[in-house]
Amino acid sequence: MKIELRSDREFDVIAIGRACIDLNAVEYNRPMEQTHTFSKYVGGSPANIVIGGAKLGLRTGFIGKISDDQHGRFIEQYMRSVGVDTSNMVVDREGHKTGLAFTEIKSPTECSILMYRDNAADLFLHPSEVLEDYIRRSKILLVSGTALAQSPSREAVLKAIRLAKQGDVKVVFELDYRPYTWTSTDETSVYYSLVAEQSDIVIGTRDEFDVMENSFGGRNETTIETLFKHAPELVVIKHGLDGSYAYTRSGEVFRGEAYQAKVLKTFGAGDSYAAAFLYALIRNLDIATALKYASASAAIVVSRHSSSDAMPKIEEIERLLELHVSH
Ligand SMILES: Nc1ncnc2c1ncn2[C@@H]1O[C@H](COP(=O)(O)OP(=O)(O)OP(=O)(O)O)[C@@H](O)[C@H]1O
Ligand SMILES: O=C(O)C[C@@H](O)[C@H](O)C(=O)CO
């Protein structure tokens, strides 16, 4: 099965959600208490995904609210410099601040994120700031689950999804569950299910699908049985180092293996995975190949310091895949 995308659109992917700042520990392999220096990057899952897409050569755009200060301007300038269209990024005029993520790299496997997201500007995106004409210029609308956590961002995203569906724009839902943004898992489950059922493609980790189902230890088969009663054509479920699975509505199942990497930190894997997976679908490659590109892209980003600036070029992904064929 192949995902049919409109060929008459100016943008390949427009994402909606947060564009924030990551401050990644420079002195890694130690706890945050002993860390003095951090490197600044653009962060936030949907921003990372369109940055990754742009670095792969896709035409990408972004809808989101940024703070009216140096951090907001840094984000906009960086995204523009890598080729993301920022014309529909909105500057907050009510004093809300950019979300900050301090990342702690205790060891390659023990990484955590310390978030400063009280009144984060991205969650104040208003439905009136989501423009129909813009969404209709894209093949895909990428929705981040975190943007559903609070109003008015929640309503802005629901409006964007409705406009996308009316405009024949495929909706890709990245569950992107960040617990600190939500007040209860019951609430998350309600909004995740609502949006997943309307989306064409749903991507998440097994744990994130459990949050959507408000359960523990859920089975992929149960998840897809439920989702395929609704709009989704393709469901991608990631299992970390155990690889990932793509399920199609027509009954096909594909497994992607994770590639070994010299891991520096684990975050950023999911965003680089999504960027390369979408790249492959947009270039009309098959789903099995899309899983390979996604896993290779993730293996590259976990071996580097950031989640946005570290996004690979297509040649780097293809080189890694060639190495795996020849071994
Ligand atoms: N340590 C690793 N080494 C190599 N590949 C990895 C590693 N961790 C994850 N990956 C790859 O990235 C994919 C996505 O990872 P994971 O399932 O952890 O997603 P995620 O939780 O969304 O990531 P994130 O940590 O960015 O939120 C995996 O299916 C795998 O292919
Ligand atoms: O906003 C976040 O949740 C953190 C991100 O900025 C960070 O880049 C990351 O975790 C990537 O997945």
- What is the per-residue pLDDT across 74-84, written as a single tens digit (0 to 9) for each? 999 999 999 99
Residue 210 lies in a domain: yes
The two most distant CA atoms of the chain are separated, in Å, by 56
Query: How many alpha carbons fall within 13 Å on the CB side of residue 136?
Result: 6
Q: What's the pLDDT at 326? A: 55
Q: What is the domain extent for residue 180?
A: 11-18+45-94+126-326
Residue 105 lies in a domain: no
Mean pLDDT of 144-149: 98
Q: What's the pLDDT at 327? A: 53
Residue 26 lies in a domain: no
Residue 32 lies in a domain: no
Mean pLDDT of 35-60: 97
Q: What's the pLDDT at 109? A: 83
Mean pLDDT of 28-52: 95
Residue 1 lies in a domain: no
Matching residue, tokens 């035409």 = 59
Q: Is the pTM of this model over 0.90?
A: yes
Ligand 2 atom, smallest distance to 269 CA: 12
Q: Which residue has the higher pLDDT, 266 or 285?
A: 285
Q: With a cut of 60, say whether residue 263 has pLDDT above it.
A: yes
What would you report as the CA-atom Rg of the chain, rounded to the nearest whole angstrom? Answer: 18
Residue 216 lies in a domain: yes
Write the residue with the smallest CA distance to atom 12 of ligand 2.
268
Q: How many domains does the chain have?
A: 1
Q: With a cut of 80, say whether residue 60 has pLDDT above it.
A: yes
Supply the DSSP string of 53-68, one letter for each residue: HHHTT--EEEEEEE-S
ipTM of model? 0.95
Residue 3 lies in a domain: no
203 CB near ligand 1 (under 6 Å)? no
235 CB near ligand 1 (under 6 Å)? no
Mutate to test the pocket of ligand 2, among 21, 100, 178, 307 (most ligand atoms within 8 A of CB): 307
Residue 266 lies in a domain: yes
Q: What CATH number should be reported for the domain holding residue 85? A: 3.40.1190.20
- What is the per-residue pLDDT across 235-249, written as a single tens digit (0 to 9) for each? 999 999 999 999 999
Q: What's the pLDDT at 68? A: 98
310 CB near ligand 1 (under 6 Å)? no
Mean pLDDT of 34-54: 97
